[in-house]
């Protein structure tokens, strides 16, 4: 069973770790067998699985469903799960939804931090020893408030605010932090200041871990963010077009199929 202590050890030894999002049992098993020990059922599923143009429509029931699928495929991974948009409006709701996710198999609850209200919610959850991953920087659930999917923490005031959030979160007892789409040197400063493991996406090379959305790194989403990388080079497209060709030309199926 992979735990947060493995990640603390990796940070202590100045090593790096890779994390991916995943939404189904087959991919979870495949990722685990390839050495991905930390996985996220994130609300990006609203975009890459459900086809919406934001994460706002995702519900706690959607996350629960996918946590169950992933945990079935990779029971020993360290599984992070998102509290989706407005599923942590107040302390009790946040606690109840975190409990639901943990009872389904999530090991760490991730939530997006936008202001003092969300910091207070985190504080409340950590008092109950809920293992929390704070998500700061670009927080897609608040895309309308932020005015788009833009880099955060560019101006000195905003950078200081994010640094203060990071330190507040560590003091509150969160077990890890995720930085999205912030300048590399700010991510470096935060990563070096904190003892807890820090994961980055679009936050440069210095964070302890990196995360990508699986569909982005497989190149099968239509709008791949600039900070992602396509590792697959259209092999899925090729497999599907080969299947069509073989069916149409009578090559597939053979008797054994
Ligand atoms: O929901 C998600 O996939 C995320 C990643 C962008 C880190 O939060």
Our mutation pick for probing the ligand 1 site, out of 42, 46, 180, 182, counting the most ligand atoms within 8 A of Cβ, is: 42
Catalytic residue (choose from 180, 184, 246, 248): 180
Backbone angles phi, psi at 72, to 5 degrees: -65, -35
Q: Which atom of ligand 1 is nearest to the CA of 199?
A: 7
- As a three-state string, the secondary structure of 99-151 is HHHHHHCCCEEEEECCCHHHHHHHHHHHHCCCCEEEEEECCHHHHHHHCCCCC
pLDDT for 78 beyond 90: yes
Whole-number Å distance, alpha carbon 9 to ligand 1 midpoint, is 24
pLDDT tens digits, 130-155: 999 999 999 999 999 999 999 999 99
Backbone angles phi, psi at 170, to 5 degrees: -60, -45
Ligand 1 contact, 43 CB (< 6 A) = yes
Ligand 1 contact, 39 CB (< 6 A) = no
The confidence band for 223, taking pLDDT boundaries of 50, 70 and 90, is confident
Residue nearest to atom 8 of ligand 1 (CA): 42
Ligand 1 contact, 37 CB (< 6 A) = no
pLDDT tens digits, 79-138: 999 999 999 999 999 999 999 999 999 999 999 999 999 999 999 999 999 999 999 999
The alpha carbon of 54 is separated from its chain's Cα centroid by a whole number of angstroms, namely: 15
- For 230, half-sphere exposure in the C-beta direction (CA atoms, 13 angstrom radius) is 13
Interatomic CA distance for residues 174 and 105, integer angstroms: 19
- Is residue 180 among the annotated active site residues? yes
Interatomic CA distance for residues 34 and 28, integer angstroms: 10
Our mutation pick for probing the ligand 1 site, out of 201, 203, 228, counting the most ligand atoms within 8 A of Cβ, is: 201
- Does the global pTM surpass 0.85? yes
Domain ranges of the chain: 4-232
Ligand 1 contact, 207 CB (< 6 A) = no
Ligand 1 contact, 20 CB (< 6 A) = no
pLDDT tens digits, 246-256: 999 999 999 89
**CATH code assigned to 4-232:** 3.20.20.60
pLDDT value, residue 225: 87
Cβ(197)–Cβ(176) below 8 Å: yes
Whole-number Å distance, alpha carbon 224 to ligand 1 midpoint, is 13
Those residues with Cβ within 8 angstroms of residue 199's Cβ, 6 or more apart along the chain or in another chain: 19, 133, 176, 177, 178, 179, 207, 208, 209, 210, 211
Interatomic CA distance for residues 187 and 179, integer angstroms: 7
Residue nearest to atom 4 of ligand 1 (CA): 42
The confidence band for 234, taking pLDDT boundaries of 50, 70 and 90, is confident
């Amino acid at each position: 069973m992979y735990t947060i202590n493995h990640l603390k050890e990796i940070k202590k030894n100045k090593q790096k770790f890779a994390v991916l999002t995943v939404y189904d049992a087959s991919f979870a098993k495949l990722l685990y067998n390839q050495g991905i020990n930390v996985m996220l059922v994130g609300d990006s599923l609203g975009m890459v699985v459900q086809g919406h143009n934001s994460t706002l429509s995702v519900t706690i029931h959607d996350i629960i469903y996918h946590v169950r699928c992933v945990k079935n495929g990779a029971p020993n991974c360290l599984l992070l799960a998102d509290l989706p948009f407005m599923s942590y409006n107040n302390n009790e709701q946040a606690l109840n939804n975190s409990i639901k996710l943990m009872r389904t198999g999530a090991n760490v609850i991730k939530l997006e931090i936008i202001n003092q209200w969300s910091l207070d919610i985190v504080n409340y959850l950590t008092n109950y020893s809920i293992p929390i991953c704070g998500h700061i920087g670009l927080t897609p659930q608040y895309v309308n408030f932020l005015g788009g999917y833009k880099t955060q923490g560019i101006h000195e005031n905003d950078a200081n605010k994010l640094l203060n959030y990071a330190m507040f979160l560590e003091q509150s007892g969160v077990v890890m932090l995720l930085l999205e789409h912030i300048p590399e040197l700010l991510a470096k400063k935060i990563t070096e200041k904190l003892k807890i493991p820090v994961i980055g996406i679009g936050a440069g090379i210095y964070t302890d871990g990196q995360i990508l959305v699986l569909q982005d790194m497989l190149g099968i989403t239509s709008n791949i963010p600039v900070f992602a990388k396509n590792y697959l080079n259209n092999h899925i497209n090729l497999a599907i077009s080969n299947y069509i060709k073989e069916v149409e030309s009578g090559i597939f199926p053979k008797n054994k199929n």
